[in-house]
Amino acid sequence: MGGFYSSEKMTGLFAYESSDLDWCEDNYRHSEHIVEYFNTMSSLFFFVISPIMLYLLHPYARERNLAVHLVWIMMIFVGLFSAYFHMTLSFMGQMLDELSILWVLGLCYGLWFPRRLFPSFIKDRTTFSRLVMMITVVTTLCSFVKPTANAYLLNCFALHIIYSLGLEMRTCTDPKVLRLCWSAVGLWVLAISCWISDRFGCSFWQRLNFCYLHGIWHILIVMAVAYASTLIAYLDANYEIPYSLPSLHYWPNDNWVLGLPYIVLKGTTKTHKRF
C-alpha cells in the first residue's frame, strides 16, 4: 500500500494543473491538450535565440572558457521546461521551469561575477564558483518548501545582477557599451512589467480580452538575457583576457535598432604570447 501511495503521489506531481500557479491566459482555449496555448508557443522563442547566441559567442567562449556555452545550452532547457509547464500547469513542470532558471543564474555568477566584488575571504574564481554551486544546490532543495515564492526569489537575483552591473558601468564612457547596457535594462524592465501585470492585473487584462502578457514576457526576457549576457561577457573579456581587444557588434546588422549583440575579438592567445 505504501509503494502504491508513493507511486500515486509521484504521478500527481506530473498531473495537469497540479501546480498552484495559473497565469492569466484562458485555459484550454485553443487546444484540449495544451492548458495555456500562447504561453506554451512563446516559450519556443528560446529555441530560436539560444542557438544563434551559441554561434555568435563561440569565438569569445573559445578564447575565455568553453563553459560559457553552458549558459545558452541551459537556456534551451529553460525554454523546453517553460513550454512543458505552460502546456500542463503541472507541479513538476513548474519546478523544472524555475530550477532551470536558477541554474542559469548560478552559471552566470560562477563564470562572470567580477573578481573585485568577490567576498574578502575568496581569492580566486574556482573557490567562488564552488561557493555559488553550493548555494545553488541548497536553494534548489529549499525551493520545494514554498514553490510559490520561487519566482520572486529569482527576480531578486535579477535585481542583484542589475545592481552589480550598475557598479561596473559607473565609469564607462563608451557609447556602444552604454547603449547595450540601457537596452538590456530596458528590455528587462519591459519584461518584468509584463510579468507583474499578468500576475496581479489579470482581471483588468481579461476585461480588455488581452491575456497574453506572460507570453510577451517570455520573448522579452530571452532578448534581455541575450543583451545582458553579452554585456557581462564583454566586461569580463576586458578584465580577464584584455589582450583579445574585444569589441561589440550586432547581428545581423550593426545599424539595426534591435539586433542580437555579440563580441568580436581582435586579438588571440597567439597575439598575447607574441607580446
Mean pLDDT along residues 99-114:
93
Range(s) of the domain holding residue 100: 25-265
The rounded distance, in Å, linking the Cα atoms of 221 and 205 is: 20
Contact 171, 218 (CB under 8 A): no
> Per the omega criterion (within 30 degrees of 0), is the bond before 119 cis?
no
pLDDT digits (tens, 9 = 90+) for 186-206: 999 999 999 999 999 999 999
Instruction: Name the residue among 165, 274, 177, 180 with its Cα closest to residue 224.
Output: 180
| pLDDT band per the 50, 70, 90 thresholds, residue 5 | very low
Q: How confident is the model at residue 177 (pLDDT cuts 50, 70, 90)?
A: very high
Residue 143 maps to a domain: yes
Whether residue 2 has pLDDT greater than 80: no
Residue 216 within a domain: yes
CA geometry: angle at 197 spanning 192 and 200, to 5°?
120
Which of these, 130, 191, 133, 197, lies nearest to 162 by C-alpha position? Answer: 191
- Average pLDDT over the chain, rounded to whole? 89
Is there a binding annotation on residue 272?
no
At 275 the pLDDT is 43
Q: Give residue 40's pLDDT.
A: 97
Position 226 pLDDT exceeds 60: yes
Region of 245 (left: φ > 0; alpha: ψ -120 to 50; beta: rest) is left
> What is the widest separation between alpha-carbon atoms in the chain?
72
- 3 occurs within a structural domain: no
Q: What pLDDT band is residue 160 in, cutting at 50, 70 and 90?
A: confident
How many domains does the structure of the chain reveal? 1
Identify whether the C-beta of residue 260 lies closer than 8 Å to the C-beta of residue 74: no
- Burial (Cβ within 10 Å: 0-12, 13-18, ≥19) of residue 193: middle
Query: Does the residue 191 lie in any domain?
Result: yes
pLDDT number for residue 61? 95
For 46-82, b/e burial (b = at least 16 CB within 10 A) is beebbeebbebbebbbebbbeebebbbebbbbbbbbb
CATH code for the domain in which residue 50 is found = 1.20.1070
Banded model confidence at residue 272, pLDDT cuts 50, 70, 90: low
Does the model's pTM come out above 0.85?
Answer: yes
Cα–Cα dist 72/39, whole Å: 21
Q: Is residue 9, in this structure, part of any structural domain at all?
A: no
For residue range 209-222, list pLDDT tens digits in order. 999 999 999 999 99
Angle at 106 between CA 93 and CA 260, to 5 degrees: 85
| 214 assigned binding-site residue | yes
Q: Please tell me whether residue 262 adopts helix, strand or coil conformation.
A: strand
Range in 11-15, 58-62, 162-166, 258-262 with the lowest mean pLDDT: 11-15
Is 33 annotated to bind a ligand? Reply is no
Residue 178 counted as domain residue: yes
Domain assignment of residue 6, yes or no? no
Short-list 152, 182, 177, CA closest to 236? 177
- All residues at 6 or more sequence positions from 49 whose CB lies less than 8 Å from its CB, including other chains: 75, 222, 223, 226, 260
Asked whether residue 36 is domain-assigned, the answer is yes
